[in-house]
Amino acid sequence: MTLDQNRLRIALQKSGRLSTDCQQLLKGCGVKLNLREQRLIAHAENMPIDLLRVRDDDIPGLVMDGVVDLGIVGENVLEETVMERQATGQSAEYSVLKRLDFGGCRLSLAVAEEFDYQGPKSLEGKRIATSYPWLLKRYMDSQGVKFKSVMLNGSVEVAPRAGLADAICDLVSTGATLEANGLVETDVIYRSKAVLIQSANPLAASKQKVIDKLLPRIQGLQQARE
């Protein structure tokens, strides 16, 4: 199976916190999908749409490199990718078509309960474990605090107990994970939702037509849920 140039390409998270909501969104828009098989590419049966099912971290780059036309991803991953790509001289252009009503979370600093936290200055020179080094650096720069980042792509919440870091900067939704690990949320540094983004590349008229059909449907779905 390959991607057809004439069909609108949308990158979605294959499996994770955004995948069910993304599938429901497309279903709600009347897009008929056959996702039973564990394939990278899924073709819509009733519209000229192909889905590329990937890790969420790959979605912003696929859109910015023009490999796909649209993507759905958390703003946290999007913003982190923008900063990383800008710092390494890669194109980081895209446009937001719609902020979606799922995937809500916040990126926060947290410290162990016994840490005497008096504001970001308490983290001067400390080690902070995170999967979001650029968002973290932007916040700490804005606070004038120097720190050392410890890059972890998983198990960030156990880093303080394991002696790997003095604090963490991680995504929070209910706060249960922090609590279970004896951590206290101190600063919210970024608030995120899932967004539908589009490549900056010019789009064929036929693909634009499909987008013009999808957007009002998404709008309608979100209004109905409000």
**Using CB under 6 A as the criterion, which residues of the chain lie in contact with ligand PRT when the complex forms?**
13, 16-18, 55-57, 74, 76-77, 103, 105, 170-177, 192
**C-beta closer to Zn ion: residue 57 or 185:** 57
Alpha helices in 29-74 (DSSP H): 59-64
**C-beta closer to ligand PRT: residue 69 or 79:** 79
The minimum distance between CB 57 and Zn ion, in angstroms, equals: 4
The minimum distance between CB 167 and ligand PRT, in angstroms, equals: 15
Residues in the chain: 226
94 residue type, one letter: Y
Residue nearest to ligand PRT (CB): 74
**C-beta closer to Zn ion: residue 14 or 207:** 14
Judged by CB under 5 A, which stretch of 28-36, 51-59, 124-132, 203-211 contacts Zn ion?
A: 51-59
Q: Three-state DSSP class for 29? A: coil
**C-beta closer to Zn ion: residue 57 or 84:** 57
Q: Three-state DSSP class for 226? A: coil
| C-alpha distances in Å from residue 12, one per residue of 41, 42, 53, 62, 201 | 10, 11, 5, 11, 19
Q: Which two tokens stand for residue 61?
A: 């780059």
Instruction: Please tell me whether residue 21 binds Zn ion under the rule CB under 5 A.
Output: no
The minimum distance between CB 139 and ligand PRT, in angstroms, equals: 17
Q: Which of 7, 49, 53, 56 binds Zn ion (CB under 5 A)?
A: 56
The minimum distance between CB 223 and ligand PRT, in angstroms, equals: 22
Residue 159: partners with Cβ closer than 8 Å, 6 or more residues away: 129, 150, 152, 165, 168
The minimum distance between CB 71 and ligand PRT, in angstroms, equals: 12
Q: Read out DSSP for 92-160?
A: --EEEEEE-SS--EEEEEEEETTS---SGGGGTT-EEEES-HHHHHHHHHHTT---EEEE-SS-GGGTT
The minimum distance between CB 15 and ligand PRT, in angstroms, equals: 7
Compute CA 173 distance to the chain's CA centroid, rounded to the nearest angstrom: 14
From residue 57 to residue 76, the character string flagging contacts with Zn ion as x (rule: CB under 5 A) and all else as - is: x-------------------
Interface residues with Zn ion (CB under 5 A)?
A: 56-57
